[in-house]
Amino acid sequence: MIPEKQVTADTIDKLILELWDTMIQLRAPGGCPWDRDQTARSLIPYLLEETYELIEAIESGNQQEIREELGDLLLHVIFQGLIAEEQEHFTLADSIRSIINKLVQRHPHVFGDHPAEGAYQAKRNWETVKANEKKRDSLIDGVPKKLPALNRARRVQEKAAHGGFDWDSVDAVWDKVHEEMAELAAARNSGDPDEIEDELGDLLFSVVNLGRFLGVSSEEALRRTIAKFEYRFRKIEEELKRRGKTPQESTLEEMDAIWNETKKIDAKI
């Protein structure tokens, strides 16, 4: 189904109100027992699940799935807002007003007189205003500790960079990666597990930095590589099954040969 090219604010208002009213009915006496039992905290696992399902849909490029998953995620926004309102903490309208004000305040190059020559300066404006609003002690404060480690590393690096603490060039980052590889090799030779862990962490952090300079998300790159590995390993299992064997009954050389053949056939996978 092709979406309408123009969606009016009135249409969106009506649909969001309909969703809101539906959730009120589900939470009301005589509604759904499961929905009534939920709290803001109990919904966290489902919120995370829906977020990752939306990410997967976006990665797949399947527009029908993206449309569906956006709706599922919106449900959780409404659900959380309704629970907060029931407990008289705040209303969903308060949240919407807050984000509108935030967008205006953090875009002085659009709504004010603070120019931005490009995306980097625009982002720097955002981070500067945000740090002032939050009255944070450090420029790198505010990165959620629950973020996946690769994403968190990149955000910490970005925040430090906006404060001027950054490499001058990608070549310098390359050198740092090689330096950390050498230090990891030395730690491995020492046999000290704590030192090995420290140096491996340093290497990963440097690789994330390299990805940032190359304009690549390390989290996204690793996710794609994992998907590629899963696809090709399943191809190995399928071919071995066709031969009447299992991976446990096969040699590494045999499996590696199938892997390489799959790689040739599906070079873009």
Q: What is the pLDDT of residues 189-246, one digit of tens each?
A: 999 999 999 999 999 999 999 999 999 999 999 999 999 999 999 999 999 999 999 9
pLDDT of amino acid 174: 97
Fold of the 9-100 domain: Helix Hairpins (1.10.287)
Q: Where are the domains of the chain?
A: 9-100, 220-265
Q: Quote the Cα angle for 22-24-29, to 5°.
A: 115
Q: What is the mean pLDDT of the chain?
A: 91
What is each CA distance from 70 to 7, 57, 88, in whole angstroms?
16, 9, 27
Q: What is the pLDDT of residues 35-84, one digit of tens each?
A: 999 999 999 999 999 999 999 999 889 999 999 999 999 999 999 999 99
CA neighbor of 125 nearest in space, from 117, 166, 137, 153? 117
Q: What is the pLDDT of residues 101-119, one digit of tens each?
A: 999 988 888 888 877 778 8
